[in-house]
Structure 1
Amino acid sequence: MPFGRASIPMPSSLAHIYAKFPLVEIEAPYEAYQQTPTKPKIWAYGPPPAGHSESLDPLCRAAQAYARFAFGGAETRWLSWDAKESSPDGQVPALHTPEGDLLTGDELDSWIASHLTDKKAEATGPSLTVHCPTDASSEPIHQAYLALVTSTLLPAVLAALYLSPASVAPPVVPSLSRPFLSQVAHVYLSWHDRANRIDEIKRLRGGKTAKATALDLEEVEREAVEAIEALEAKMQAAGKAEWFDGASGPSKLDALLYAVLSVISVLPRACDDALRPALERSPALSSYLKRHDP
């Protein structure tokens, strides 16, 4: 008898079960990370609905916008909810650099900011002394407004997108046709993600994340509207400056502010009846948004 692996037929009863509930292949973690891109590539949730070139998730859109402001944009690898585990610690957005690094959070922002500086230095020419302007992002007033956007507008947009019924909220990630067991798992993951989103909103607002601590969505919405009014007054005082508060170049604040405002501008009334009207009453913010649309 020749040596080799024996072929054992699957029992008909088991084969019948597998036919109804096929196995689903899931991308191995870091599989895409093993191939270093030739250009910066942002991993973001999506793809977005027709008419949008950037993710509807505000943090992913902020990363894409920051790269666009800094050096003309980065390529995008669109991720489904299930594929976020391929990113470090499951954090999305992530930035895959041509050096082979996969960055998230503050490291992602720092990499983009450093390449904005490089772009300015190249524009001056190699024979000239480069005098970089003061980095506005380090100014106390800049940090104060970044904290305002992060603690008020961002939580409100996350709540509108992820805590509204799926039937009325715009889809951040397209719905896919799935086998039955995979669909059950997806529903569970969506429910688990909702709980995580509530904790994230509480954390961004500086509150407790314990389950016993209730999330007051009316308060979240009211504080966001007040923030829009404060930002509108600030923008009107700055005139038609390209970047926030008349800074000489874009910052993380510009990217995040653009991202949350642009998502607010497309929220349907069914999941938001306060933020979008407040933005529509703000001509300076609306003008800022139009200037930075892709």
Structure 2
Amino acid sequence: MGTSQSSDGPGPGVPMVPPWTPAAPQDPVPPPPPPPGELQDAPPGIPPADGLPPAGPAVPPGLQPPPIAPDKRFGGTRSSLGNFARSGDNRDLRRGLGHYVRSGYGGSNTATRRFGGTAQTAGSLGHALYSTATGAADSPIDTAALTGRSTEEIATAIIEAVRPVDGTQDAEAERAAIHDAMSELLTEYPEADLLHLSDAEREFVIKRFTAIDVARRFELDVGKHLLEKAATATVAMARLKQMRSYIAETVAASFRKLKDQGRTLTAGRIARVVQDALRDTFEVFEGYEE
């Protein structure tokens, strides 16, 4: 899939949320009735009967135009990443992530809107994997045509069905993130069948895709500076690995927090849960002290 760390990232004077970004991610199918005892998402404005707090607010549907990026929007991020490249200190990385959300994207709300495509693609990916595994008639994957094909061919077919090429950098990054998430799945679950994934395996793919895509966007926006400031290529690769791991840990913690609130990655509501996990992640980043 290649890498894109050589990008200079978006500059000033452009919308912080590109016009092709989905305004409000929607899942491909309506949520099915939950099993007995499983919590449902409460309708907007109605507290859940069990007393848990309602789901996080939905990302604004784009009625207000996104803010325009100012000059030196990533200046603070790059400064902190330069320090991180030299020191390897997670405190410098945290400062960089804080600047990235606060200044680079104007806060967690806009950052969440910017990653609307991540949530939308996660929903499409979850639907494709679920409908294929259950033999649903609306599955976008032709299981019969893929029978006997290699794992790589099956993975490619899934990527093409879920996130076709559309000429945007987002599509390239998301396709690569899906590929990497499925590769990690096969490392974690060597016997996994991509056409018949279990609930746990599908959940693993969705969570890893989300974390990988956040890290890829961060790298595309500001990763070049980190690479340039590291003492050697070996150090640069080590810092990238450290950064990706840190972001992954934060995203995973956000998913765990939502799960504790009854917000699970059930088929039919994956996009909305991923959106809330992204919002929580960016609120964590935004809260890091300068």
If the TM-score is normalised by the length of the shorter chain, which range does it land in? under 0.3
Q: More strand per residue: 1 or 2?
A: 1
Larger Rg: 1
Q: TM-score, normalised by structure 1?
A: 0.26
Greater RCO between the two (CA within 8 Å, min separation 6)?
2
Q: TM-score, normalised by structure 2?
A: 0.26
